[in-house]
Chain A
């Protein structure tokens, strides 16, 4: 609703003031371009989708595994955790040019950028989730004779699932952004490439098409993870804890 209203206001302002198209196109023009240029656009969309998906899977997979390893080795965790927190404050994207120098322009540096962007939120969220396991439940499990692995699989991992999912949601949105930015560094296909081409030829409408698609993709990823969360995490979970 709010979005629709915003689009209408935007349309009216552009029409009233007569801003040139190349500076600020009206939504109607953007949609028209989106519709007409679909044939041309969709290979780029597909490339970005693939790239962000691969990066996301690699990044969140290694993130989760790292978190599990660190959790099971508390000594190591305590020394590395501050570094993880610190790394969250560095925009990973700034590493992109470096990666290009090291790995060239192929697929590799792009995937590394996206994976890195996804890696940290998952690792930190999972570690926090494992650590926050309710002490009375842990106490029961220990008194009942649970082994270390039973404690992890039967208590800590399920307990941390909501935290892991909130990490996944952040990473999912980051992954699309990471993909687009890594494409700016040089690629044949991808929304990032499409954007660079569009802006250099002053096709502002196309830039907006790209922006809208980036938003849609991010929301789509986010929604998919939310749906997975809803099927995996029981609704009852939230009532009990916090």
Chain B
């Protein structure tokens, strides 16, 4: 069932067209990655979905309702953890809930426990490592009541090891809660390892260049990254990303 549907979406800043007639849809419970070169307009797409920008053309539908230009319909995790420094971790992770309705401390505590952050519930963000902060930021998004989670390059500021650890953790947590996720990344491996489907954007203006359905079964483990099949797909996605041919869609 389609949960989020974006149709014919266009956005320009001045006379520079960033998104042109973009179409994409995300099914309920699906993990979709958006892969595109730097500056191609991935964040702009999120800003439109989040409603802090209004589209010039086209429509965004969530569950049949038009949400273009309306805020509060998605939960969000940015590249920087963006935790509030004067709130402890427990109060930080309930912030997303608080903005919509009442905070549910019990579920929050439970999730922090599962994320290995139980000793840090009463700690302040500056006492946590980069990876721990991103865990807290993800839990904050997961706890928010909205059905779609938008993650904008959440791990790109982390070192390689922490990044891999976080990908595995995110996958485990997601497989447990099965929320719908829209995930922006530059990293092909990350997109392949995490998602059900990858949408490859062209740049200037951004259009859907290709769509790849990832064939690996779940639950996925780290050793998948070393399999030949994985490398084969990596090459395939790389070619799609760098090719200039506009419209060609691959499916398995």
A and B bound?
yes
Residues of A within 8 A of B (CB): 136-137, 139-147, 150, 154-155, 158, 161, 233-234, 236-237, 239-241
In the complex, A147 Cα to B96 Cα: how many Å? Answer: 12
Known A-B contacts A154-B95, A240-B126; A144 and B86 likewise in contact (beta carbons under 8 Å): no
Given A144-B75, A236-B124, A139 contacting B86 (CB threshold 8 A): no
| B127 in contact (CB, < 8 A) | yes
**What are 14 inter-chain pairs, A to B, with CB distance below 8 A?**
A136-B80, A137-B82, A140-B76, A140-B78, A141-B99, A143-B74, A145-B50, A145-B72, A145-B146, A146-B99, A236-B126, A240-B124, A240-B125, A240-B126
B193: Cβ under 8 A from any A Cβ: no
User: Which listed residue, A143, A144, A236, touches B85 by the CB 8 Å rule?
Assistant: A236
Let me know if A233 and B144 touch, CB within 8 A: no
User: Which of B51, B99, B127, B144 is packed against the most chain A CB atoms within 10 Å?
Assistant: B99
CB-CB nearest 3 A-B residue pairs: A145-B72, A240-B85, A236-B124
In the bound complex, CA of A143 to CA of B76 (Å): 6
For A239, list chain B residues within 8 Å (CB).
85, 124, 126
Since A145-B74, A234-B85 are in contact, a sample of 12 more A-B pairs with Cβ atoms closer than 8 Å, ordered by chain A residue number, is A136-B78, A136-B80, A143-B46, A143-B47, A143-B74, A143-B76, A144-B75, A144-B76, A145-B72, A154-B99, A158-B86, A240-B125
In Å, the complex CA distance between A241 and B86 comes to 10
Asked if B71 contacts A241 (CB within 8 A), the reply is no
* Chain A residues within 8 Å of B125, by CB: 236, 240
Q: Which residues of A sit under 8 angstroms from B126, Cβ to Cβ?
A: 236, 239-240
Q: List B223-243 residues whose CB lies under 8 Å from chain A.
A: none
- Assess whether A236 is in contact with B75, with CB atoms less than 8 Å apart: no
Question: Which residues does chain B contribute within 8 Å of A136, judged by CB atoms?
Answer: 78, 80, 82
For A137, what are the chain B residues with a Cβ–Cβ distance below 8 Å? 82, 84
Residue A154 contacts which of B46, B98, B124, B146 (CB distance < 8 angstroms)? B98
Q: Which residue of the partner chain B has the closest CB to A162?
A: B86
List chain A residues, Cβ under 8 A from B24: none
A137-B82, A137-B84, A155-B84 known; A143+B52 contact, CB < 8 A: yes
CA distance A154 to B86 in the complex (A): 10
On whether the beta carbons of A241 and B82 are closer than 8 Å, the reply is: no
